Amino acid sequence: MNQADSPAKPVTGLILSGGGARAAYQVGVLAAIADLLPDATQNPFPVIVGTSAGAVNAVGLACGALHFTEAVRRLTQVWQNFHTHHVYRSDLPGVLRQSYRFLGHSLLGLGKSLPVALLDSSPLRELLARELDFSGIAAAVRMRQLRAVAITAFGYESGQAVTFYQGRATIDPWLRHRRVGVPTRLKLDHLLASASIPLIFPPVKINREYFGDGAVRQSAPISPALHLGANRVLVVGVSGNPQSGDANAIIIRPKTGRPPSLAQIGGHLLNSTFIDSLEGDIELLERLNHMSRLLPAELPSRGLVPKPVEVLVIAPSQPLDQIAARHRHELPRTLRMFLRGPGATKVSGAGVLSYLLFEPGYCNELIELGYQDAMAQKAALVSFLGLDPLATLNP
């Protein structure tokens, strides 16, 4: 067999989707993977891609890629001790000031021409600046422990989903319809831009353009990992719909006959932004894989059709909005007061709450759920990552 015909060396990509506080689930999955690795320093993901809150986890892993298990431990520690005031101001003066600015500027056109949102996310900037050492990315790339890390943000003027990536010099940028890949040295502003949920958190200016949450126009969330060289991907989702094994399963919820609250509407909008594109991209990729397997073997090798991309998906086995509803009392009193009117403190409006509830009880339950869901797929993970079943730990 010619070298040109030999199968490509497996390059595993990790896809961490967005979802605000729901991203605590991803940390539990990563903790399970760390427990399965026989070598605590081994980074099993040469390509790491994140969006929104998933970008925070992605960059956290990339910064510590030389010591994967330690990087996961630090991420876990941060999420286990999260409080809302670590992410956005939840004190009464801060909430009132931001509310007045939002109403005055956005509705009445008063005040300075500054980006305004419902919540002040300045505490998140301080937290990430304290916890992340971006120099670790260059060190991991140099030591061949990392091929590339990428985070996606949305340009409000260009209307494009821009994937900022840092990695090996051999990776070419790309240009697709409303999707571009830009090589850069990642900084805190790139991360904050990717995590800036529209209207909820303020956009961030990078160079001459303001950017917001990358999930807004990210029609193909898996695509950046493939551009960066991955030929198989592990996707850790944060869907609110439990995985049943049946792609066509319908989640039946009780009908009340009441008009939807503002929180219910907002929850569906957030789900359509953070979840629907990823699930649609997974379905498309699986269909392409199926088509590729049905065609004669020589066609994929000649580049006439895409080569199959192995995909493993780990997603919540329980509805996250119901978990959030159980923990809604943890939300600071000031925020409960402001969110009561839109209906976010009710069970029906818990979809919004599931994105904003950065509190230990909720985050720790999601971490535990992620750990258990990953361990439920232990055999699949061990096979996917190419680990020796006899060498993996049995926690």
Predicted confidence (pLDDT) at residue 33 exceeds the cutoff of 80: yes
Kindly write down the DSSP assignment for every residue of 285-322, as one continuous string.
HHHHHHHHHHS-THHHHTTSSPPP-EEEEE--SS-HHH
Average pLDDT, integer, range 22-50? 93
72-77, Cβ contacts within 8 angstroms, sequence gap of 24 or more: 72/27, 72/30, 72/31, 72/33, 72/34, 73/34, 74/131, 75/27, 75/30, 76/27, 76/30, 76/31, 76/367
Task: Give me the mean pLDDT over the 127-154 stretch.
Answer: 95
The one-letter amino acid at 225: A
pLDDT at 126: 93
Least confident of 251-255, 266-270, 327-331: 251-255
8 Å CB contact between 99 and 119: no
Report the CATH number at residue 360. Answer: 3.40.1090
Q: What share of the chain is helix, strand, coil (3-state, %, to 5)?
A: 45, 15, 40
What is the number of domains present in the chain?
1
Is residue 99 one of the residues assigned to a domain?
A: no
pLDDT of residue 294: 65
* pLDDT at residue 245 in the model: 44
106 assigned to some structural domain: no
pTM beyond 0.75: yes
How much is the pLDDT for 329?
85
pLDDT-derived band at 199, boundaries 50, 70, 90: confident
pLDDT of 187 over the 70 cut: yes
Note the pLDDT tens digit of each residue in 212-249.
988 877 767 888 999 999 999 999 987 755 544 444 44
How far is the C-alpha of 267 from the C-alpha of 284, rounded, in Å?
Answer: 25
- Residue 201, pLDDT score: 86
Residue 18's pLDDT band, with cuts at 50, 70 and 90, is: confident
Q: Are 334 and 90 in contact (CB under 8 A)?
A: yes
Residue 248: the pLDDT is: 41
Q: Is 297 inside a domain boundary?
A: no
Q: How do residues 302-339 score in pLDDT, each as one tens digit? A: 554 567 788 899 999 998 888 988 988 888 877 766 66
Q: Would you state the structure tokens that stand for residue 382, as one six-digit string?
A: 């061990």
pLDDT at 196 over 70: yes
Does some domain include residue 259?
no
| Residue 392 pLDDT class (50, 70, 90 cuts) | low
Does residue 159 form part of some domain? yes
Note the pLDDT of residue 177: 82
Among residues 385, 383, 382, 384, the alpha carbon closest in space to that of 393 is found at 382
Give 92: exposed, middle or buried? Use CB within 10 Å, 0-12, 13-18, 19+: middle
DSSP 86: G
User: What is the per-residue pLDDT across 54-110, written as a single tens digit (0 to 9) for each?
Assistant: 999 999 999 999 999 999 999 999 999 989 889 887 777 776 676 666 666 666 666
Is 2 inside a domain boundary? Answer: no
Which residues constitute the domain of residue 207? 12-91+113-240+267-290+308-385
Active site residues: 52, 213
Average pLDDT over residues 368-390: 91
What's the pLDDT at 57? 96
Residue 3 domain flag = no
**Rounded CA separation 376/395 (Å):** 12
Which residues on adjacent β-strands are paired with residue 213? 153
Q: Is the pLDDT of residue 42 over 70?
A: yes
- 318 assigned to some structural domain: yes
pLDDT, averaged across the chain: 81
pLDDT of amino acid 355: 84
